[in-house]
């Protein structure tokens, strides 16, 4: 999977309430969730995001509650991939389940700046910072994970597998 877009950079310990405030958890409407994505820490986030953009953060991204609303809001906002030094494990799992590509890379987290243009290839295992003309190695997605993301998430992947 290869993606290309502009970076929206955040710091460490971005919790699920920062991603989507609890007051919006009474809906499962993806567009509604997206409209409030990251507003707790950047009220203009959704005015700046374009489909295919990236979210880059520091350590422990997605900590807090186990709500699936957080990765759903990010994906529905048009973010193609989240890159962080590390993820809370439940956020990591929820992201895979809903088909939101995520990548752990301390080097990329530290070197990439807000508004940089980058591309990520999870099949090859590289992030290219087109603005800074740098590359950062990442772990390649194994074939089964590539299928999950290409299908749009775990449930969709299992549906496709069941039809075969």
Mark out the alpha helices in 40-153 (DSSP H runs): 45-48, 69-76, 89-98, 106-111, 143-151
- Give the separation between CA 126 and CA 58, rounded to whole angstroms: 18
State if pTM tops 0.75.
yes
Residue 2 has pLDDT above 80, yes or no: no
Q: Torsion-angle region of residue 152: left (phi > 0), alpha (psi -120 to 50) or beta?
A: left
pLDDT per position as a tens digit, 75-113 = 999 999 999 999 999 999 999 999 999 999 999 999 999
Tokens of 43: 């009220």
For the stretch 16-75, pLDDT in tens is 999 999 999 999 899 999 999 999 999 999 999 999 999 999 999 999 988 899 999 999
Contact yes or no for 146/125 (Cβ under 8 A) = no
Domains and CATH numbers, the chain: 2-163 (3.20.19.10)
């Amino acid at each position: 999977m290869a993606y290309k877009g502009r970076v929206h950079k955040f710091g460490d310990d971005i919790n699920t309430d920062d991603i989507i405030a609890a007051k919006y958890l009474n809906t499962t409407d993806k567009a509604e969730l997206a409209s409030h994505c990251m507003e707790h820490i950047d009220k203009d986030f959704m005015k700046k995001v374009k489909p295919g953009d990236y979210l880059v953060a520091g350590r422990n991204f997605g900590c807090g509650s186990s709500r699936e609303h957080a990765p759903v809001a990010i994906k529905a906002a048009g973010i193609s991939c989240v890159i962080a030094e590390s993820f809370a494990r439940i956020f990591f799992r929820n992201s895979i389940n809903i088909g939101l590509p995520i990548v752990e890379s301390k080097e990329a987290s530290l070197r990439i700046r807000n508004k940089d243009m980058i591309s990520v290839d999870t099949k090859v295992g590289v992030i290219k910072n087109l603005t800074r003309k740098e590359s950062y190695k990442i772990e390649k997605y194994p074939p089964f994970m590539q299928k999950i993301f290409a299908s749009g998430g775990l449930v969709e992947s299992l549906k496709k597998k069941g039809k075969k």
